[in-house]
Amino acid sequence: MRTQVAIVGGGPAGLLLSHLLHRQGIASVVLESRDRRYVEHRQRAGMLEQGTTDVLRGSGVGERLDREGLVHHGLELRFGGTGHRIPLTGLTGRTVTVYAQTEIVKDLVARRLADGGDVRFEARVVEIDPAAAGVTYVQDGRTRTLECDYVAGCDGFHGVSRPAVPGLRTFVRDYPFAWLGVLADVPPSTDELIYANHDRGFALHSLRSSKVSRLYLQVAPDEDLAAWPDARIWSELAARFATGDGWELREGPITDRAITPMRSFVAEPMRHDRLFLAGDAAHIVPPTGAKGLNLAVSDVTMLAAAFTERYASGSEAPLDGYSASCLRRVWRAEHFSYWMTTLLHADPAADDFARRLQRSHLEYVVSSEAAATSFAENYVGLPAAP
């Protein structure tokens, strides 16, 4: 079997890359180790920068996004019992959109299959040859080999693509806290996201739809999920979001819960021979800045353009520059995510001096237009590099 581009991983990065290549007449095969139902239902956040929504709309998969996505023009930073709105659109002219990653995956799977795309579920990749551009995988109990011109590793942090690159340099930062995230069947208590800094820990009120809320609590990395029954979760959320203006948190049935550790990670370079890394296979960010999915979309958009140039003109210059170009954006997003994480979370090792510095910085962000603008332009996403 042979194709032009073998794509390892059928998440949003791999599926979008396949879709973008198809629109340019470039053949690809997507190999995904899980079944279709698992891929379409795994819970992930979905805060989309305007650049991401522009890519989805421009490639013809934005119809349901436009119909169901929740466009946000601002967000709230809440600390000291008071909320402070950051007018994202007013400061930058851009927006962000809440649209669940699960829905993006469903849209992309449906489009790839409707277009006759080759998406192979339950196809577990066991070996990648970056030099020969070959992929060995197991499906239906049989071992098969897919030959190709190039391999795109879009299989996430725990995938097989990154270990296939020798001599990688990695950069890691682990955080002394995690997020307890819940999905609840209750209308959101806010029209825009609330990021709350509290002595008891960080909290985030996000939205999934007009009827479903997504909420998060800072907890210890080794927290036992069983120690958090519904009543304790709602009580702690209410305490961390509390204000003096009568605002109330709506409660409802919790349908999903999980604890997510927080880490920053970057692997360099993002290319070795004919293997290219994209998305979480090359970098992860703490979720505070909502950059993970957006970085993945940026990566594969750039990679699709580089492949298009290669097959159209024969030039490999964009492919040669792929890693350096991606990493400039990655490191900016890494810094913003690190900055926002340390700004809003309660560090268990912090002394009184550090806590006062944190409060001073929060007050500066909400009182200075220059500081708020810097925050806003990073949050909505910086324009793509020329």
Report the distance separating Cα 70 and Cα 47, nearest Å.
9
Give me the pLDDT at residue 42, please. 79
CATH topology for the 5-171+262-380 domain: FAD/NAD(P)-binding domain (3.50.50)
Instruction: Calculate the alpha carbon distances from 57 to 20, 48, 186, 377, 378 in Å.
Output: 12, 12, 29, 21, 22
Percent of the chain at pLDDT exceeding 90:
94
In this prediction, residue 28 has a pLDDT band, given cuts at 50, 70 and 90, of very high
Q: Which is it for the CA torsion 228, 231, 234, 235, positive or negative? A: negative
Paired with 26 in beta bridges are none
CB-count burial class (<10 Å; 0-12, 13-18, 19+) for 241? buried
Q: Where are the domains of the chain?
A: 5-171+262-380
Kind plus residue range of the DSSP H or E element containing 278: none
Give me the pLDDT at residue 357, please. 97
Average pLDDT, the chain: 95
Q: Which amino acid makes up residue 30?
A: V
Please determine, for residue 41, whether its predicted confidence score (pLDDT) is greater than 90: no
Please determine, for residue 143, whether its predicted confidence score (pLDDT) is greater than 80: yes
Report the distance separating Cα 98 and Cα 209, nearest Å.
8
Which tokens sit at 311?
């097959």
Give me the pLDDT at residue 382, please. 84
Question: Tell me: the pLDDT tens digits for 3-17?
Answer: 999 999 999 999 999
- Residues 15/38, Cβ–Cβ less than 8 Å: no
- The stretch 147-164 carries a mean pLDDT of 97
Give me the pLDDT at residue 386, please. 44
Question: Tell me: the pLDDT tens digits for 303-318?
Answer: 999 999 999 999 999 9
pTM, rounded to two decimals: 0.94
Residues acting as catalytic residues: 72, 195, 287, 291, 379
Please determine, for residue 383, whether its predicted confidence score (pLDDT) is greater than 90: no
